[in-house]
Amino acid sequence: RKLCLAIALIGQSATIFLDEPTSGMDPHSRRAIWQLLRAQRDGRTLVLTTHFLDEAELLADRIAIMAEGALRCVGTPLYLKAHFGVGYRLTVTKQPDRFDVGGVLAIARKHVLGAQLIADAMLEAEVGLPGDDLSAFQALLLELQPQLGALGVGDLGMSCTTLEDVFLRINENVLDRLATRQQELQAVAVHESNDAVEGDDATAKPIDGGGTQTRREDVPEDVPLPVLRAPTRSAASAQASILVGLVNKRRLSAQRSLCTTCCQLLFPVVLVLLALALLSANLSFAGPSLELTPDGVFAGSFGRQLILADNDQSASLSSLLE
C-alpha cells in the first residue's frame, strides 16, 4: 500500500485516484498516511474511496456516499450531518453493579421526546437524543449532574451526529429491503415444506378449479432457508465458459484501447514488409565484381616455394619439407 501510494504521488499529477489507501494498515501507519495526504493535497485533486468514515471526515472536503451501486448524496461533512443527522448522543460511563438505566432514560425522556437507548455495553451506555434543542439538552445535563452517584453513572458526555449515523440513515431502506427479502425467502421455504408433507401430517384442501392442495396443519415458525446449490457442469463446459470469458475480456480491452491494439496488429506486418523490400532491392553500387587473387599483394611470388631454414639445420629441414 505504501509503495503504490508513493508511485501515485511521485509523478506530481494534478488529479490522483486512491482506492482505499490505508486498508490493512495499523493505526500508526494510517495516521502517518493521513498526514502525508493532507500535506500533499495542496494544488491537487485527490479522489479516494474508503470504508473508514473517520478517515473520510478527516481528509475529505466533500463526501459522496454510494448505496447499491448508485450515488445517494454529495456534500461537506457538516452539510451531511445537518441534513441527515439523527440528533445528539448522551454517553454515560457505568459504575459496577449500580447503573440505573431506567432512571437515566426517564430523565432523558422528561426533557427530550423520543430519547431511547441505542447502545448498552459493559462499561458504558449511549442514549440517542433526537432534535437540536440545545436548551433542552442543557436542562437535561443540569438535572443529571447532581444525580450521577444515585444513578450509578461515573461520568457523562454528549456528542453530535457522526458520519456513521449519516451512512446508516441513508442506507436504512437498503436494510429494510434485505429484511423483506429474507422474509419472502422464509415464506417460500415454509410453502415448499408444506407442499412436501405427506401422510398424517398433511390435510387435503380443495382449491379453485378442482383438485386438492396438500397443506400441513402445524407449521413451525423458524424454518431454515433452502440451500441453493449451483447446477453441476461438466469439465468441458467449464473450460469453454472460461475460454469465452477470456475472449470477451480481451475484446473489451481491445475496444477500450483501440490505438494500442492497432499498433500491436500493424507494427509486425510493417516490419515484415520492410524486410522483404530490403531483400528484394538491388544494393550493387560499387561497380563490377572483382576477382580476388594474391597476385595483387605478392606480385610474382604466388606459386613459388619459400623455404626458411637455419644454416645449422638446413639439411634436416630440407629432408623434412621433401
Structural domains of the chain ordered from first start: 2-61 (3.40.50.300), 85-162 (3.30.70.2190), 172-216 (no CATH)
Read off the amino acid at residue 90.
Answer: L
pLDDT of residue 298: 57
The model's pTM: 0.45
Query: In degrees, to the nearest 5, what angle opens at C-alpha 271 toward C-alphas 269 and 276?
Result: 95
Condensed to tens digits (0 to 9), the pLDDT of residues 208-243 reads 444 444 444 444 455 455 555 556 778 888 889 999
Condensed to tens digits (0 to 9), the pLDDT of residues 40-67 reads 888 889 999 998 888 998 899 999 988 8
Three-state SS for 110?
Answer: helix
Calpha distance 21→4 (Å, rounded): 8
Calpha distance 125→136 (Å, rounded): 20
Query: Is there a contact between 34 and 58 (Cβ–Cβ < 8 Å)?
Result: yes
Residue with the larger pLDDT of the pair 319 and 254? 254
Condensed to tens digits (0 to 9), the pLDDT of residues 249-282 reads 988 888 888 888 888 889 999 999 999 888 887 6
Range from 145-149, 199-203, 271-275 carrying the lowest mean pLDDT: 199-203
